[in-house]
């Protein structure tokens, strides 16, 4: 039931209504005081800026040409001096005062406007990240990390620019246009009509520009997301790119995305090339018309239909104020620019925020094990034995079925790509359950359901008798340790990576956090149990050695042992091992195996086994094929039964040359069905044999 082929992000983005209004309501309100202070200071500064041309005009008429009285708008004439020298001095003081006021209030406005914009940006960014983290795996399966990066970076800064520059420039523009128009009308409404006749033209021109530019901005924003996604994929998959010699393919993809972006941007800029000079031309026309008509007026008296007197002072005021017009009006294209960007950006911010989070705690969710989910209970001290373990680790799958939703838009209940069918089994605390079967059989999916990375479509999974949907997600996940074949290490030191999850995160109350030394002791203890202590100790800075992004400076075997140490420290009741297929040398393999055996010893353990020889001791082995359990039992029982397991065992032990033809066919069909790119004959067979 595919709604359409857009991803969830795009769909929710399009549904956002009046994004900037929402931005102000949801983020602006809390910082509104900064905005108000900024606006008021801005308006005062601008009004003060209008004063010098007015005072200059009045002084010229009263002091120098004697054409008019010394009178100022608003101020009663009785307050003003009557002698020329006093009027001149007052004019100088007023002009100077106006500049001081402009300076002081510009300073205040700068601080307030910056505070407003940056505080909102900070809130938007941190909030979006929090929300993004809570989204279900289905969202991330859609590979939208590029888009998310773009929300957290580009969009947040677009909003900042808008809230700072655009808002304040709009206020400035409003004050200037209204203020200047007011003053001009006050002094000579007839000449004012000449000067301001350009305003309606500018308005229409701006309207045309906005209409033309808006759809282009929408396109441009979408393309930024595409570009980010391409870059992100190429960078995170750099190893695959190199090993498959697809650098030129990736370069082409980046070239295409970047060219698209370039072309859209040029589209927008072309409009700007017309708009900006056009506005300046119109402003120039207003200036020239004022100069022409005003000059003629002074020399020959009121031209044409005009009847009022024009003095030299008023003429100077007009010329100076008309010039002040030009700068803020030329900003209009920037304001439009920033406004369009901000609108698109806040649509994306709220699009992300509106995506429903399906996997969350029920209102009456209980804490699994009653404690913090760690076996060690509140004290978290392993040496205290198992007496106070919070979670026993009894796991029951009861007729579980699951289908992947095509994307985050599809209600999981409507998903039709069934990959797990009616799976039932029970594991007692401490049991080891091995999952075997061909690639794509559903082994990993089955265990992702246990940690509620996805929710079952049918049936239920119980841990210690609780449906996993009835316990808090945090307590469930912290009672499950996960060691995968693709180990993620964060940028940071080895020690930080080992304590990640156990002594990092909100779950750990500050007052429960042991002293640094105690943590270090336990980190070392965990590393020893993971057979990692020796190699860590031999590194230049031992446990404080930084490992690069994704831990590129460690070997695969070393990374895996760091990951195992992390789980040892986590001390979960349930362990999920996604066994490594990547070849490590025999000695490393032995070390890893030994540490895993130790780790698994008294926990309920699920092993996704690729080599059957590592799980012959499992209490139960489930053989999966196409999402169904086709065989189950101990190693001996399964060999006895002489089914799929026995065949796989034979292949891996080198007894059978080839897999049955129908088996290879099925695996190949599955690959084709999934549209996996670049699967060549040999790969299918090799992968299948790996199992």
CA torsion angle 47 53 56 58 (round to 10): -80
Q: Which of 388, 460, 391, 394 is nearest to 422 (CA)?
A: 460
For position 622 contacting ligand ADP by CB under 6 A, the verdict is no
For position 455 contacting ligand ADP by CB under 6 A, the verdict is no
Report the DSSP pairing between strands 432-436 and 604-608. parallel
For position 419 contacting ligand ADP by CB under 6 A, the verdict is yes
Nearer Cβ to ligand ADP, position 340 or 578? 578
For residues 628 to 667, the per-residue mask of contacts with ligand ADP, x marking binding by CB under 6 A and - elsewhere, is ----------------------------------------
Give a three-class secondary structure readout of 465-527.
CEEHHHECHHHHHHCEEEECCCCCCCCEEHHHHHHCCCCCCCCCCHHHCCCHHHHHHHHHHHH
Q: Which of 230, 260, 239, 225 is nearest to 345 (CA)?
A: 225
CB of 233 to ligand ADP, least distance (A): 16
**Range list of H helices, 484-609:** 494-499, 516-529, 533-537, 556-570, 586-600
For position 421 contacting ligand ADP by CB under 6 A, the verdict is no
Residues 108 to 167 in contact with ligand ADP, rule: CB under 6 A: 141
Nearer Cβ to ligand ADP, position 316 or 483? 483
For position 551 contacting ligand ADP by CB under 6 A, the verdict is no
Radius of gyration for the alpha carbons in the chain, expressed in angstroms and rounded: 36
Nearer Cβ to ligand ADP, position 101 or 630? 630
CB of 20 to ligand ADP, least distance (A): 35
CB of 405 to ligand ADP, least distance (A): 8
For position 513 contacting ligand ADP by CB under 6 A, the verdict is no
Q: Is residue 340 a contact partner of residue 213, using CB atoms and an 8 Å limit?
A: yes
Choices 200-208, 383-391, 433-441, 488-496; region in contact with ligand ADP by CB under 6 A:
433-441
Q: What is d(CA 561, CA 539) in angstroms, rounded to the nearest whole number? A: 15
**Residue 290 φ/ψ region, left for φ over 0, alpha for ψ in the -120 to 50 degree band, beta for the rest:** alpha
How many residues touch ligand ADP (CB under 6 A)? 12
Q: What is d(CA 58, CA 69) in angstroms, rounded to the nearest whole number? A: 8
For position 412 contacting ligand ADP by CB under 6 A, the verdict is no
Cα–Cα separations (whole angstroms), residue 68 to 56, 313, 581:
13, 9, 96
For position 674 contacting ligand ADP by CB under 6 A, the verdict is yes
Q: Is residue 419 a contact partner of residue 404, using CB atoms and an 8 Å limit?
A: yes
Q: What is d(CA 34, CA 38) in angstroms, rounded to the nearest whole number? A: 6
Nearer Cβ to ligand ADP, position 242 or 674? 674
Q: Is residue 481 a contact partner of residue 411, using CB atoms and an 8 Å limit?
A: no
Nearer Cβ to ligand ADP, position 114 or 439? 439
**Angle, CA of 161, 163 and 167, to the nearest 5°:** 110
Q: Is residue 493 a contact partner of residue 546, using CB atoms and an 8 Å limit?
A: yes
Q: What is d(CA 114, CA 123) in angstroms, rounded to the nearest whole number? A: 14
Choices 155-163, 207-215, 223-231, 435-443; region in contact with ligand ADP by CB under 6 A:
435-443
Q: Which of 397, 464, 410, 472 is nearest to 627 (CA)?
A: 397
For residues 260 to 299, the per-residue mask of contacts with ligand ADP, x marking binding by CB under 6 A and - elsewhere, is ----------------------------------------
CB of 402 to ligand ADP, least distance (A): 9
Q: Which two tokens stand for residue 252?
A: 């082409």
Nearer Cβ to ligand ADP, position 53 or 437? 437
Q: Which of 442, 501, 557, 572 binds ligand ADP (CB under 6 A)?
A: 442
For position 445 contacting ligand ADP by CB under 6 A, the verdict is yes
Nearer Cβ to ligand ADP, position 420 or 569? 420
For position 393 contacting ligand ADP by CB under 6 A, the verdict is no
Choices 110-118, 188-196, 382-390, 438-446; region in contact with ligand ADP by CB under 6 A:
438-446
Q: Is residue 500 a contact partner of residue 549, using CB atoms and an 8 Å limit?
A: no
Q: Which two tokens stand for residue 688?
A: 């299948």
Q: What is d(CA 497, CA 499) in angstroms, rounded to the nearest whole number? A: 6
Choices 64-72, 215-223, 439-447, 632-640; region in contact with ligand ADP by CB under 6 A:
439-447
CB of 674 to ligand ADP, least distance (A): 5
CB of 679 to ligand ADP, least distance (A): 12
Q: Which of 234, 332, 441, 684 binds ligand ADP (CB under 6 A)?
A: 441
Q: Which of 404, 482, 503, 649 binds ligand ADP (CB under 6 A)?
A: 404
**Range list of H helices, 301-355:** 312-330, 332-354
Nearer Cβ to ligand ADP, position 181 or 418? 418
CB of 365 to ligand ADP, least distance (A): 25
For position 7 contacting ligand ADP by CB under 6 A, the verdict is no
Q: Which two tokens stand for residue 655?
A: 């007894």
Nearer Cβ to ligand ADP, position 8 or 271? 8
Q: Which of 13, 125, 253, 443 binds ligand ADP (CB under 6 A)?
A: 443
Q: Integer distance in angstroms from the first to the last C-alpha of the chain?
A: 33
Residues 6+ apart with CB under 8 A from 388: 376, 377, 379
| b (16+ CB within 10 A) / e for 50-61 | bbbbbbbbbbbb
Residues 571 to 600 in contact with ligand ADP, rule: CB under 6 A: none
Classify residue 351 by its DSSP letter.
H
For position 439 contacting ligand ADP by CB under 6 A, the verdict is yes
Q: Which two tokens stand for residue 639?
A: 């060999």
Nearer Cβ to ligand ADP, position 117 or 447? 447
Choices 92-100, 118-126, 245-253, 443-451; region in contact with ligand ADP by CB under 6 A:
443-451
Q: Which residues bind ligand ADP (CB under 6 A)?
A: 141, 404, 419, 437, 439-445, 674
């Amino acid at each position: 039931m595919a709604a359409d082929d857009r991803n969830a992000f795009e769909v929710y983005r399009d549904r956002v209504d009046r994004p900037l209004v929402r931005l102000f309501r949801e983020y602006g309100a809390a910082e509104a005081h900064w905005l108000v202070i900024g606006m008021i200071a801005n308006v005062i500064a601008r009004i003060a800026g209008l004063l010098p041309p007015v005072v200059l005009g009045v002084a010229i008429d009263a002091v120098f040409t004697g054409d008019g009285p010394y009178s100022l708008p608003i101020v009663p004439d009785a307050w003003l001096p009557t002698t020329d020298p006093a009027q001149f001095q007052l004019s100088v003081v007023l002009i100077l005062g106006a500049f001081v006021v402009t300076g002081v209030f510009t300073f205040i406005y700068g601080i307030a406007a910056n505070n407003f914009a940056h505080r909102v940006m900070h809130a938007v960014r941190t909030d979006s990240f929090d929300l993004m983290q809570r989204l279900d795996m289905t969202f991330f399966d859609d590979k939208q990390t590029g888009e998310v990066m773009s929300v957290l970076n580009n969009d947040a800064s677009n909003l900042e620019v808008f809230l700072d520059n655009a808002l304040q420039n709009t206020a400035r523009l409003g004050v200037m246009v209204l203020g200047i128009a007011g003053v001009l009308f006050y002094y000579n409404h007839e000449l004012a009509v000449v000067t301001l006749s350009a305003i309606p033209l500018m308005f229409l021109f701006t309207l045309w520009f906005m209409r033309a530019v808006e759809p282009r901005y929408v396109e441009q924003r979408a393309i930024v997301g595409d570009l980010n996604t391409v870059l992100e994929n190429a960078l995170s998959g750099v190893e695959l790119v190199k090993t498959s010699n697809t650098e030129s393919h990736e370069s082409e993809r980046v070239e295409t995305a970047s060219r698209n972006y370039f072309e859209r941007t040029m589209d927008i800029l072309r409009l700007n090339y017309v708009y900006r000079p056009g506005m300046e031309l119109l402003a120039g026309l207003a200036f020239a018309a004022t100069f022409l008509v005003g000059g003629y007026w002074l020399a020959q008296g009121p031209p044409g239909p005009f009847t009022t007197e024009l003095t030299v002072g008023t003429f100077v005021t007009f010329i100076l104020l008309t010039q002040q017009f030009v700068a803020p009006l030329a900003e209009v294209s920037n304001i439009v620019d920033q406004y369009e960007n901000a609108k698109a950006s806040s649509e994306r911010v709220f699009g992300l925020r509106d995506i429903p989070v399906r996997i969350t705690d029920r209102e009456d969710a209980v804490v699994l094990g009653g404690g913090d989910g760690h076996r060690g209970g509140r004290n978290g001290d392993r040496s205290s034995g198992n007496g106070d373990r919070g979670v026993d680790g009894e796991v029951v799958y009861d007729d579980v079925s699951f289908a992947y939703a095509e994307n985050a838009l599809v209600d999981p209940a409507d998903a039709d790509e069934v990959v797990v069918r009616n799976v039932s089994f029970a594991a007692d605390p401490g049991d080891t359950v091995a999952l075997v079967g061909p690639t794509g059989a559903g082994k990993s999916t089955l265990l992702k359901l246990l940690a509620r990375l996805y929710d079952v479509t049918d049936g239920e999974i119980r841990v210690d008798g609780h449906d996993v949907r009835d316990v808090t997600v945090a307590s469930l996940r912290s009672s499950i340790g996960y060691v995968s074949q693709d180990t993620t290490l964060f940028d940071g030191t080895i020690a930080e990576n080992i304590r990640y999850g156990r002594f990092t995160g909100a779950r750990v109350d500050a007052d429960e956090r042991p002293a640094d030394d105690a943590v270090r002791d336990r980190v070392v203890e965990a590393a020893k149990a993971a057979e990692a202590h020796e190699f860590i100790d031999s590194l230049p800075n031992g446990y404080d050695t930084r490992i690069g992004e994704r831990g590129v400076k460690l070997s695969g075997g070393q990374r895996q042992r760091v990951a195992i140490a992390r789980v040892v420290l986590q001390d979960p009741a349930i362990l999920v091992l996604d066994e490594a297929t990547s070849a490590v040398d025999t000695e490393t393999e032995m070390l890893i195996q030994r540490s895993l055996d130790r780790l698994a010893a008294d926990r309920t353990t699920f092993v996704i086994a690729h080599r059957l020889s590592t799980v012959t001791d499992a209490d139960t082995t489930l053989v999966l094929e196409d999402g169904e359990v086709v065989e189950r039992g101990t190693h001996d029982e399964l060999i006895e039964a002489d089914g799929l397991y026995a065949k796989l065992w034979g292949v891996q032990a080198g007894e059978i040359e080839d897999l049955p033809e129908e088996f290879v066919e099925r695996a190949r069909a599955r690959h084709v069905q999934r549209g996996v790119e670049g699967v060549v004959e040999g790969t299918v067979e090799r992968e299948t044999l790996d199992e």
